[in-house]
Amino acid sequence: MNMTFQSIAASLALGLAGSAIAQTAAPALNTPAASTIPAGPKGVAIQEGKKLLTETHQRLPTNVGNGLNCTSCHLAGGTTANASPWIGIWGVFPEYRSRSGKVISLTERVNDCFERSMNGKPLAYDSVEMNNILAYMQWLSTGVPTGTSVKGRGFGPLDQKLKPDAAHGKDVYAAKCASCHGATGAGTRNPSGGYRFPPVAGKDSFNDGAGMARTYTAAAFVKHNMPLGQGGTLSDQEALDVAEYFTHLPRPLYKFKTKDWPKGDKPKDARG
């Protein structure tokens, strides 16, 4: 093949550009089939990890200080787009977190949730429970290239320029949320124990250091997922207003909150 230096350079440039695009393009969010869970100890760990994340309050009472499960926010076992799915999460950590002001491991991120969203205590890094949780998250991430985030990671987009109105949010809550989460946000209990619909306020809810205690973060979750099974039916403004209302209802306090955002880049909706 007779190629000039310029054509070779151009081909290389195109190839590199295509490679960069391939590396940065977000893959689709796909849940692996249950049949792909391997036999043996690894498969048992994956299955036990899922149970810990879906029945967290029941199975880890020493580490959970409220009435929530991890899947109260990470819907459908962490497989729902725009509900902070765990699919692909294995390959993006260690990751820089501005709230911590440093690069943290996936283990640290899991424990961050136990201390904040679950208002509880961290798991031992080398515990069977932590390893089972990580095994489940790793299995969920099957086929996702390392270092890439899947489509639908996090809680989805929301217009950040909008201003919240808590008074209107109270009306939205009464109309759209109270039938499941209760008039005061205390949730709906299950006769067999735990909650059928989780509390969004009060002693059994997430503390004020949790990501869900931030107005815009909670609003994005509400916009794309609530009311349950009717995600996307509220406007950005309605989602923001109702989030402003319920995130500022009484809830547990996170005692280490003053250590958050050590680099000085505290978001506008972070709790004081």
Instruction: Report the chain's terminal Cα–Cα distance, integer Å.
Output: 67
Question: Helix, strand, coil shares of the chain as percentages rounded to 5?
Answer: 45, 5, 55
Both tokens of residue 191?
């006769």
Both tokens of residue 6?
């310029």
The per-residue pLDDT string of the chain (272 residues; one tens digit each, 9 = 90 and over) reads: 343 434 333 333 334 333 333 345 789 999 999 999 999 999 999 999 999 999 999 999 999 999 999 999 999 999 999 999 999 999 999 999 999 999 999 999 999 999 999 999 999 999 999 999 999 999 999 999 999 999 999 999 999 999 999 999 999 999 999 999 999 999 999 998 899 999 999 999 999 999 999 999 999 999 999 999 999 999 999 999 999 999 999 999 999 999 999 999 899 999 87
DSSP letter, residue 33: P
Alpha helices in the chain (DSSP H): 5-24, 41-54, 56-59, 75-78, 106-115, 128-140, 166-176, 178-181, 215-225, 236-247
**Contact between 270 and 260 (Cβ < 8 Å):** yes
Distances (CA, A) of 78 to 48, 60, 125, 140: 15, 18, 21, 9
259 CB contacts (<8 Å, ≥6 apart)?
none
| Domains, the chain, ordered by start | 34-140 (1.10.760.10), 166-259 (1.10.760.10)
